[in-house]
Amino acid sequence: MDPRIGTALTVLIGVPAVLIGYIYLTEIALRALPERYKPRARPWLWLLPALAFLFVFLIYPTIGTFIRSFRNADDTDFIGLNNFQKFVSSDATLIALRNNILWVIFLTVFCVGIGLLIAVLVDRVRYESWAKGVIFLPLAISAVAASLIWKFMFDYQPPGEPQTGTMNAFIGVFGISPVPWLQIDTFALNTFALIGVMAWMWTGFAMVIISASLKSISAELLEAARVDGANEWQVFRRIVFPLLLPTIAVVSTTMIITALKAFDIVYTMTGGNFNTDVIANLMYKQISFGDFGFASAIAVVLLIAIVPIMGVNIRRFQAQEAIR
């Protein structure tokens, strides 16, 4: 018999058995407590395994990363703020930082803007679910596969040769000579090309969430506005949009975090060449160079950038829960 079957059985039966055993044991332990403390102690005991996992796999490594960010490449000595100084003084990191800012602004604007537009537009048509399905589909594609698809789209052949890239074939119809899209860093054109790929993937996500929120706006409210003489634009501007705002905020913060974490598309399509590098790819490179101190410092910068946005997101979620 394949030993893996044994392992699978152990996991399938063993893990639930251990969990049930744990709860049983906590109940036995709780008997020792006075009656009035029991309800207060029980949830904590039940949460304990989850908290333990969270600590071992999330909090402990995070603390380790913070400490390592003040240490040298080999993790043998403390070097103060040197890694952070390197971060703010190197061209490569500053370009990556600039690109991440572009990613945050434009990915969010594209995804949320177009997602909102589509959600509102398809709300009124019969083929709504079909249209939403098509727009949502790219999100199901892995980022590497999507990058490869778009690599073909942006493909470049020298002028005069048959253009195998869709974009260059298209502009060729109008007699425009081919453009090496991913190599042109004037006005960060190539970074925008990469952001476009990510927007193509994530617009569907923004659309689906906004659309769901749109459905929850009661028809009576809109009808009342129309009866009062509001035109369609006013209905959207004064009623629909303010009601969608909490959802848009949540989707926006999710997109901002997605933009800050951007890695796979850049790694697959340009490898960070031609001034398209981003923070996450930079961090990955430092790990491959064996400079764990600098890699940790980059991770810390990224984490510090994300934390406030996470905070806003959680507050928004809680506010929304409170409304319900």
Partner 1 sequence: MRTSSFASQDPRPTTTKIKFSDPKIKQAWQAFGDVAASSFGGSSTINATAFQTAGDPLFKSPPGCEFLHQASFITGLGAFKAKKAGTDYNFFPFPDIDPQYAGAVEGAGDLFGMFHDTEAAKSLMKYLVTAPAQDVWVKIGGALSANKNATSYPDDISKRSAALLQNAKIFAFDASDLMPNVLQNAFLKGIVDYIKTPSSLDQILTTLDAAQASAQPQGSPAAASPSPSPSPSS
Chain residues 202-221 in contact with partner 1, contact rule CB under 8 A: none
Is residue 273 part of the contact set for partner 1 (CB under 8 A)? yes
Subset of 66-85 contacting partner 1 (CB under 8 A): 73-74
- Tracing tokens 């030993």 back to the chain, one arrives at 3
The answer to whether residue 158 forms part of the interface with partner 1 (CB under 8 A) is: yes
Residue 30: other Cβ atoms inside 10 A: 15
Which pair of tokens denotes residue 227?
Answer: 């009866």
Stretch in the footprint of partner 1 (CB under 8 A) among 124-132, 152-160, 203-211, 213-221: 152-160
Nearer to partner 1, 161 or 232 (CB): 161
What is the spatial distance between Cα 60 and Cα 225, in angstroms, rounded to a whole number? Answer: 54
Q: Which of 55, 60, 152, 289 binds partner 1 (CB under 8 A)?
A: 289
DSSP β-bridge partners for residue 78:
71
Provide the b/e sequence for 120-137 (b: ≥16 CB within 10 Å): bebeeeeeeeeebeebbe
- Part of the chain binding partner 1 (CB under 8 A), chosen from 29-37, 76-84, 116-124, 180-188: 180-188
What is residue 71's three-state secondary structure?
strand
Give, as ranges, the residues between 107 and 126 that touch partner 1 (CB under 8 A).
Answer: none
Stretch that binds partner 1, among 47-55, 111-119, 201-209, 287-295 (CB under 8 A): 287-295
Complex with partner 1: residue 108 or 163, whichever CB lies closer: 163
Count of alpha carbons within 13 angstroms of residue 163, beta-carbon side: 21
288 near partner 1, rule: CB under 8 A: yes
Under rule CB under 8 A, residue 285 binds partner 1 = yes
Asked if residue 233 lies in contact with residue 111, where contact means CB atoms within 8 angstroms, the answer is no
Does position 290 bind partner 1 by CB under 8 A?
A: yes
Q: By CB under 8 A, tell whether 305 contacts partner 1.
A: no
78 three-state secondary structure: strand
Q: Does 161 bind partner 1 (CB under 8 A)?
A: yes
Please tell me the distance from the alpha carbon of residue 259 to that of residue 278, in angstroms, as a whole number: 10
Measured in Å, how far apart are the chain's first and last C-alpha atoms? Answer: 54
Q: How many residues of this chain interact with partner 1, rule: CB under 8 A? A: 17
Binding segment toward partner 1, per CB under 8 A, in 45-53, 154-162, 220-228, 240-248: 154-162
Nearest Cα to Cα of residue 69 among 58, 59, 60, 79: 79
Stretch that binds partner 1, among 4-12, 189-197, 202-210, 289-297 (CB under 8 A): 289-297
In angstroms, the CA 190 to CA 193 distance is 5
- Note the residues at the interface with partner 1 (CB under 8 A): 73-74, 155-158, 161, 180, 182-183, 273-274, 285, 288-291
